[in-house]
Amino acid sequence: MPTVKLNCPDCGAALELPDNLGVAHCLYCGTRIQIERTEAAREQQDLKRYLELCRIAVEARNHNETIQYCNKILEINPSDVETWIHKATATFWLTTVADNRYDEAMEYLKKAAEIAPADGRISRAKAQLTLVQARWYNDLGVSAFKISDDLWKSYKSGMILTRPAARQCVDELKKAIDYYLLAARYAPEDMTILGNLEQAATTGLGGRNNWGPVVQTRLESLGHLRAKKQAEANLLELRAQLQEAEAGLGRLDTKDLQGSKNRKGLFSGSRLKSTEGRMTKLRTQIAQNETVAAYRPPQV
């Protein structure tokens, strides 16, 4: 605990007292002493209190209070990386459909990164918040698509739709498409999100519309990602086969390969040629699948 060093005004005794006391008494003569703390000491005491209150607010998921105490901490210590992260996270969780605060949260993480570029907590927070943002938009899209799809199925089953209901069917479908596109912006390789977009844009009522180049690009990306997933699975098998072939080649008796007139040598030479040909084919297949597996979706 920080302390204040002073002398008793009556007996002159040297005292060292906790700096969180406003009033103390001399340990030697009992004289009442008014302790005047420095501005720096007051700031440090306030900082300690705000840090504790911030911790409690974070644990309680009270986002408004978290931001309030983060601001007080940063006024005293603007280089506190953890506090910038807390502020970013709390700000993000106050997002609504009408007020998306993701970009604001990212700005706070950017400030943290300027202070400590190599701090892994910052990149992890960014990745987590980005994933949550993508899933949130995806969930909004799922809800909107369900409304549209239910209305469309009612129409297909022969039930008469009123004009407002028919308009709502189309509006909710458009809303679902927009939400899926927003989700894909934050998680462009998420095949669940892109699969939902594909379902909305190509089946039922969605299949009757031309959704434009952005949707088309995302759907093409989904095709590439499916091929990428298969290529990654293929690579595991192909590399295992190549490793096995290389081991088999090493086991061939090189002594038998020296006498081409020897029957055994001819047999081993044939095996060598066959194994080398198989290895060449495997390497070609591996290179082809590596190209497919290296795909990255475009930024749209």
* Per-residue pLDDT in tens (0 to 9) along the chain, 300 residues: 556 677 888 888 887 776 666 677 888 888 887 766 555 667 788 899 999 999 999 999 999 999 999 999 999 999 999 999 999 999 999 999 899 999 999 999 999 999 999 999 999 999 999 999 999 999 999 999 999 999 888 877 766 667 788 889 999 999 999 999 999 999 999 999 999 999 999 988 888 788 999 999 999 999 999 999 999 999 999 999 999 988 887 776 554 544 444 444 545 667 778 888 999 999 999 999 999 999 999 887
Work out how many domains the chain is built from and give that number: 4
In a domain, residue 128? The reply is no
User: Distance between the two ends of the chain, CA-based, in angstroms?
Assistant: 55
Listed in sequence order, the DSSP H helices in the chain are: 39-59, 63-76, 81-92, 102-115, 120-156, 163-186, 191-202, 213-251, 263-293
Query: What pTM did the predictor assign?
Result: 0.76
Specify whether 26 is located in the same domain as 51.
no
Q: What angle do CA 40, 41, 42 make, to 5 degrees?
A: 90
Any idea of the CA torsion for 29, 35, 38, 39, to the nearest 10 degrees? 170
In a domain, residue 298? The reply is no
Specify whether 206 is located in the same domain as 249.
no
- From 89, 118, 147, the end of a domain falls on 118
- Candidates 218, 219, 238; CA nearest to 293 is 238
Give the model's pLDDT for residue 190: 97
Give the other-Cβ count within 10 Å of 110's Cβ: 13
In a domain, residue 237? The reply is yes
Exposure string of 69-80, with b = 16+ CB inside 10 Å and e = fewer, is bbebbbeeeeeb
In a domain, residue 103? The reply is yes
Specify whether 24 is located in the same domain as 88.
no
Specify whether 190 is located in the same domain as 227.
no
Give the other-Cβ count within 10 Å of 83's Cβ: 24
- Domain extent at residue 177: 136-211
